A = this chain, B = another copy of it.
């Protein structure tokens, strides 16, 4: 058996996890706008929330519920984010957890809540109240896809991933769903990622593994440099695999963490690929930086530059804009040390256009749906990478009239 095996499906690939998604009427489009994830047994949970100082009511309530660390259900709505809604917003978010708790016969404090969509409008609670019983009734071991659909906003499709990983000789399953799109950067996004596993994991170990996985995945992607007020990443570990508990420092945890990193990286890339108006997934790799931090700063500056992102959209090998973006970053940069390649085609050496570089070939590479821009700063051993997408006219079209 290979150490890591990808599975079909998403969150309900995990034993003991049921899920559902329905339309209750938040979205005028008639698309699904409520999602529920339920673990047949109470689960240890870890979660990471937006770093934005303006946090939505659901984030505030979920942060309270995470204090104890036991979670059995996650309820999420899409179409209205319940952010900047004051006391009413907090009451509405609490009511959602209480109603789900009653329906599932679990304490409200064992329910996480998340909402995504327009900021500043109250949730249509009448519709949600009418929808929650249907949502609970729809829970099923095949419901992962429906739940993945229930959390989408301007995403073009659902994002799911699942895998089996061998920990200490025993297979455990990891599965998750995610939504992304705009406001993706630098600490997560208008994004949700809900994951589950049947592994038995100590609480602090689960928390550390999740933070590390998020740092290497969702915190390495960027769509537009904006940061949502609703970002939530959570994982429930229900322990049904009955493996020996995974503890910090143990080999089993390292194996589990590799699986978690694989699944978050896969979901993160799906988010960038489906960035609003995006047509390409581009990896910005930086090496030769003075430090890892410098490498990240340089990669981020390139990944977020509108001029670089529009050039990627136009499949235009405008390497000068990459030089510009490196130079404006907070990383140490010496122009005459910089090397730049598109995949394996070296375009810049020692800070200048490399004589003989084949720009026609670069245009071919840039026509691909995925490629890498590899940068060598020539100053040290620091390396890092981020994933970005292009900036298209479609992005502007989508975002110019989102609320109206």
Contact = CB atoms under 8 A, between A and B. Distances in A.
Interface stretch (A102-110, A324-332, A380-388): A324-332
Interface string A69-105: 0000000000001011110000000000000000000
A333 interface: yes
B402 A396 contact: no
A226 B328 contact: yes
A324 B226 contact: yes
A389 to B, nearest CB: 13
A316 B226 contact: no
B54 A352 contact: no
Interface string A318-346: 11110111111000111110000000000
> Copies of this chain, how many?
2
A397 B393 contact: yes
Interface in A43-84: 51-55, 81, 83-84
Interface in A216-262: 224-229
Contacts of A325: 226
A194 to B, nearest CB: 22
A84 B323 contact: yes
Given A54-B323, A307-B182, A310-B400, A84 B351 contact: yes
A171 to B, nearest CB: 40
Contacts of A367: none
Contact of A229 (B327, B348, B397): B327
Of listed A305, A318, A392, residue having the most chain B CB within 10 A: A318
A29 to B, nearest CB: 18
A120 interface: yes
A404 interface: yes
Interface in A120-173: 120-121
A13 interface: no
A306 B53 contact: no
Given A54-B326, A306-B224, A352-B120, A396 B400 contact: no
20 contacts: A51-B328, A53-B328, A53-B332, A54-B326, A83-B320, A118-B320, A119-B319, A120-B319, A226-B305, A226-B321, A226-B325, A227-B324, A227-B327, A310-B396, A310-B399, A311-B403, A313-B400, A318-B403, A393-B393, A395-B396
Interface of A: 51-55, 81, 83-86, 118-121, 182-183, 224-229, 304-307, 310-311, 313-314, 316-321, 323-328, 332-336, 348, 350-353, 391-393, 395-397, 399-404
A229 B323 contact: yes
A353 B120 contact: yes
A403 B316 contact: yes
Q: Which 5 pairs of residues, A with B, have the shortest CB-CB distance?
A: A119-B320, A314-B400, A54-B327, A310-B399, A227-B328
Contacts of A225: 225, 304-306
B224 A307 contact: yes
Contacts of A306: 224-226, 306, 395, 399
Given A225-B305, A310-B396, 17 more contacts: A54-B335, A84-B320, A84-B323, A84-B351, A84-B352, A119-B321, A120-B319, A120-B348, A226-B325, A229-B320, A306-B395, A306-B399, A310-B399, A310-B400, A313-B400, A318-B403, A391-B396
A272 B400 CA distance: 19
A165 to B, nearest CB: 34
A86 B335 CA distance: 9
Contacts of A318: 118-119, 402-403
Contacts of A183: 307, 324
A399 B392 CA distance: 10
A52 B400 contact: no
Of listed A307, A317, A328, A392, residue having the most chain B CB within 10 A: A328
